[in-house]
Each structure stands twice: as C-alpha cells, then as structure tokens.
Amino acid sequence: MEVSSDKEYIYTSTELDRYEGRIIEELKTNSQESIPDPAAWLDEELKRNILLTSVDAVINWARRSSLWTAICFPACCAFEFIAAMGPRFDLSRFGMDIMRASPRQADLMITAGTLTWKMAPNVLRIYNQMPEPKWVIAMGACAISGGIFRSSYSVVPGYNRIIPVDVYVPGCPPRPEALIYAIQMLHKKINNTPVLPDLPQLMQKGK
C-alpha cells in the first residue's frame, strides 16, 4: 500500500486525540447561535397556499406509524425512554419497537441526555447519517437549554445549537407519559407536512 503525501495519517492515540480536539473546538466556535425550529420554515410554505392531497395523507400515515429511533442516549433521560419501551408504557403499540443501532435505517432521533462539547461532533455525525425525512425530539431540560448544568464549562446549552429540533419535552426527566404525548404531537406535525415537492422552490434552490 502506498502512502500518499497529501493525506494526513494518524498513528498514535495522542495524535488522534489532538485531531478530534481540533474538530471540537471548530464546532464550538461555529455553534454560537441556535438553529431556528423547522416549524418556522413550515409556516412560510403554508403561506404559499399548498394544499395537502390524499397522496400526502397516505404517505404521512405510513411515516408516522413506524418511526424508528436512532440511538443517542447520553444520560438519565435514557432510562425514562427505556422505561417507555418497557412492558408498562409500551411504545411498540405506536410502531416504535425497533431501536436499530444503525442511523441509516432510522428516521427519529430522541436526544435523551445532556450534550457536552466533546460529544457534539458525534451527535452531528449521527444526525447527518440519517436519511431524509428525519425528525428530532429534544427530551428533558438538558436537551432544551442545558438544564441544571447550564452554567458549566463543558455543556452545550441545548441541542438546537447543533441540530434543528422539532418537538421539545420539558421535565427532568420527563415521565414516559410525557414522552408519549410528545410523540403524538410529532405525529400531528407529520400529518401536516406536504410530501409532494414544490417545484418553484426546488428550482430556486437549484440556482
């Protein structure tokens, strides 16, 4: 195998640590403002009078009835999510019993736990690997705004600095019933999403 001179090869773990440290610092300087919610974008489209057809209704029904979650469980809220998947608050009656390890097969990311700057590039990578359409539920106070740890030196104040969030669930941790209510709210949002592409807007983006 030849070693080409333009690529950077990393051999020791210290070099790997420094490389990852540079990525984290770069992400930190680029994420000083929060990303606006996708619902704001939806309102602009509805203003342009797009009607939802029956094709939309069928496709949206299929999408909301089988949301598969990508794994992103840093901290304590993870255990309320796991309890929601447990035998008492059964999430598989909503079609969500699959918790696949691969983000390529997922369309919902429930972020359950505090996000730190060290973990942020990994969460962004998982989010980018999910195919469209995808939704994010921010679960818990730490995911909404940093929660009880907001004044700490290594905590990101909310997931919406890194990825766009659709539904916010308050609580510390939110009860499984609250999480199920949030998932139903997301179902309502999915019902209102137009599926067929808006040709004028696509032409604009192409330019």
Nearer to other proteins, 50 or 172 (CB): 172
Quick one: tokens of 185?
A: 């709210």
Q: Is 124 in the site for other proteins (CB under 8 A)?
A: no
Nearer to other proteins, 56 or 90 (CB): 90
Among 47, 88, 93, 104, contact with other proteins (rule: CB under 8 A): 88
How far apart are CB 25 and other proteins at their closest, in Å?
5
Among 4, 5, 13, 204, contact with other proteins (rule: CB under 8 A): 13
Q: Is 145 in the site for other proteins (CB under 8 A)?
A: no
Nearer to other proteins, 35 or 71 (CB): 71
Is the distance from CB of 196 to CB of 53 less than 8 angstroms?
A: yes
Is the distance from CB of 36 to CB of 87 less than 8 angstroms?
A: no
How many residues in the shown chain lie near other proteins by CB under 8 A?
44
Give me the amino acid identity at 52.
Answer: L
Treating both helix axes as pointing N-terminal to C-terminal, what angle do 54-64 and 176-191 enclose, rounded to 10 degrees? 160
Among 68, 79, 94, 181, contact with other proteins (rule: CB under 8 A): 79
Q: Which stretch binds other proteins (CB under 8 A): 11-19, 34-42, 57-65, 184-192?
A: 11-19
Q: Scan residues 149-178 and list those touching other proteins (CB under 8 A).
A: 149, 151-155, 172-173, 175
What would the DSSP string read from start to end of 120-179? HHHHHHHHHHSPSS-EEEEESHHHHH-GGGTTSTTB-S-GGGTS--SEEE-SSSPPHHHH
Q: Which stretch binds other proteins (CB under 8 A): 20-28, 31-39, 41-49, 160-168?
A: 20-28
In DSSP terms, 109 is beta-bridged to 70, 136
From the centroid of its chain, how far is CA 82? 18
Give the angle 126-129-131 at the CA atoms, nearest 5°.
125
In the β-sheet with 69-70, what is the strand arrangement from edge to edge? 69-70, 108-112, 135-139, 167-169
Residues at the contact surface with other proteins, assessed by CB under 8 A: 13-14, 16-18, 20-22, 24-25, 71-76, 78-80, 82-83, 86-88, 99, 101, 113-114, 116-119, 122, 126, 148-149, 151-155, 172-173, 175
